[in-house]
């Protein structure tokens, strides 16, 4: 999905102020722009017509991860995760969003000078934009294992969304698309299946759901955690976190990606080989519909995942 440039009048949070996106600019010598020293997040919000409300999905967990990971680059974010979630809801109200949205928080080294050595000058911003479906989930995606290996934790920690590390994902996506695939699948240096360029990966094999462990250079996805909960609690499926070999991708009944942007994306072919029947499978289909119901506020057991934007009183939140 190619996203359009957002409306420059969109109100964003930048330098501790609400200002139009068109005025939220940085100096060309900014450290993060030159050396990749920033940490970003991705959060979704879904507008539910029936309840006339916009639900941010697990914003506090995302902001906790963001603050933790920014600490890896010694970037400080001066607000609590809960205050950041409230600020994001305020941004949605100020823009009057009544559609699905995507939230992009970014924290970065902001000094404008030459030299890699980082200093204490940090900045952060939050942008919210309208955001529809990432792809047509009925068709399923075609994926390809790429020759680029996943960044190693010993080089740049892939458990954090570090700007500079996403060059790895850009190269992988570029190679995969040139090879006729929609998305890339990374292997670790040891040859274990890791992440895709922007998603976590699951296989369904021998009646079990299997996903790579945190030690295989994955990003510890929040959607991954949601899917594990839904699979165990709503489908009584056994979920195993273990290393996956490349060839398991070719002999599994189902393969699918999970991520804030793609939600649950069934994979119908890997390396030009059909997965299972070559059609979108029943497990991914069921999980996707559970995820959609839960993130639109239709499953009461999962309301704690949601931060309502237009019904924001503490009493309502506790409800």
Residues designated catalytic: 161
Q: To the nearest 10°, the Cα dihedral for 68, 72, 73, 79?
A: 20
Q: From residue 32 to residue 71, what is the string marking binding to ligand PLP with x (rule CB under 6 A)?
A: ----------x-----------------------------
Distance CA 107, CA 207 (A): 41
- Measured from the CB atom, is 11 or 197 closer to ligand PLP? 197
- Measured from the CB atom, is 91 or 228 closer to ligand PLP? 228
Q: Are residues 214 and 159 in contact, defined by beta-carbon separation less than 8 angstroms?
A: yes
CA-atom Rg of the chain in angstroms: 20
Q: Is 144 in the site for ligand PLP (CB under 6 A)?
A: no
3-state helix, strand, coil split of the chain in percent (to 5) is: 30, 30, 40
Q: How far is the CB of 318 from ligand PLP (least distance, A)?
A: 26
- Measured from the CB atom, is 11 or 141 closer to ligand PLP? 141
H/E stretch holding 235: helix 222-235
Q: Is 142 in the site for ligand PLP (CB under 6 A)?
A: no
Q: Is 172 in the site for ligand PLP (CB under 6 A)?
A: no
Q: How far is the CB of 236 from ligand PLP (least distance, A)?
A: 23
- Of 37, 223, 252, 285, which one interacts with ligand PLP (CB under 6 A)? 223
Task: Record the tokens describing residue 175, joined without a space.
Answer: 């190679």
Q: Is 222 in the site for ligand PLP (CB under 6 A)?
A: yes
- Measured from the CB atom, is 140 or 221 closer to ligand PLP? 221
Helices (H), 157-221: 166-178
- Measured from the CB atom, is 11 or 270 closer to ligand PLP? 270
Q: How far is the CB of 115 from ligand PLP (least distance, A)?
A: 28
- Of 88, 173, 200, 285, which one interacts with ligand PLP (CB under 6 A)? 200
Q: From residue 248 to residue 267, what is the string marking binding to ligand PLP with x (rule CB under 6 A)?
A: ----------xxx-------
Q: Is 224 in the site for ligand PLP (CB under 6 A)?
A: yes
H/E stretch holding 35: helix 31-35
Q: How far is the CB of 193 from ligand PLP (least distance, A)?
A: 12
Task: Record the tokens describing residue 302, joined without a space.
Answer: 């999962």
Q: Are residues 107 and 124 in contact, defined by beta-carbon separation less than 8 angstroms?
A: yes
Rounded to 5 degrees, φ, ψ at 59 are -60, -35
Q: Is 221 in the site for ligand PLP (CB under 6 A)?
A: yes
Residue the block writes with tokens 């499953």: 299
Tally of residues, the chain: 319
Closest CA to 274 of 290, 298, 255, 292: 255
Query: Which residue ranges make up the site for ligand PLP (CB under 6 A)?
Result: 42, 161, 195, 198-200, 219, 221-224, 258-260
């Amino acid at each position: 999905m190619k996203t359009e440039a957002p409306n420059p009048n969109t109100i964003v949070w930048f330098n501790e102020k609400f200002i139009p996106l068109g005025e939220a600019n940085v100096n060309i010598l900014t450290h993060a722009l030159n050396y990749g020293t920033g940490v970003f997040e991705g959060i979704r919000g879904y507008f539910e017509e029936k309840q006339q409300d916009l639900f941010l999905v697990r914003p506090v967990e995302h902001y906790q991860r963001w603050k933790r990971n920014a600490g890896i680059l010694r970037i400080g974010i001066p607000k609590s995760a809960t205050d950041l979630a409230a600020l994001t809801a305020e941004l949605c109200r100020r823009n009057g969003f009544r559609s699905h949205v995507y939230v992009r928080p970014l924290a970065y080294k902001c000094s404008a000078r030459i030299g890699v050595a980082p200093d204490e000058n940090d900045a952060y911003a939050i942008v919210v934009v309208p955001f529809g479906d990432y792809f047509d989930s009925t068709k399923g995606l075609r994926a390809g294992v790429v020759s680029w290996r996943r960044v190693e934790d010993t080089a740049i920690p892939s458990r954090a969304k570090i700007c500079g590390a996403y060059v790895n994902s850009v190269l992988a996506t570029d190679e995969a698309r040139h090879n006729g695939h929609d998305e890339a699948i990374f292997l670790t240096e040891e040859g274990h299946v890791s992440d895709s360029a922007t998603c976590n990966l699951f296989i369904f094999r021998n009646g079990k759901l299997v996903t790579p462990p945190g030690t295989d250079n994955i990003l510890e996805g929040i959607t991954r955690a949601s899917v594990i909960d839904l699979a165990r609690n709503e489908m009584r499926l056994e979920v195993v976190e273990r290393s996956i070999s490349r060839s398991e991708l070719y002999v599994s009944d189902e393969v699918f990606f999970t991520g804030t942007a793609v939600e649950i994306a069934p994979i119908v072919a890997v390396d030009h080989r059909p997965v299972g029947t070559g059609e979108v499978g029943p497990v991914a289909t069921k999980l996707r519909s559970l995820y959609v119901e839960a993130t639109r506020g239709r499953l009461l057991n999962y309301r704690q995942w949601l931060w309502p934007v237009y019904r924001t009183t503490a009493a309502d939140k506790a409800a």
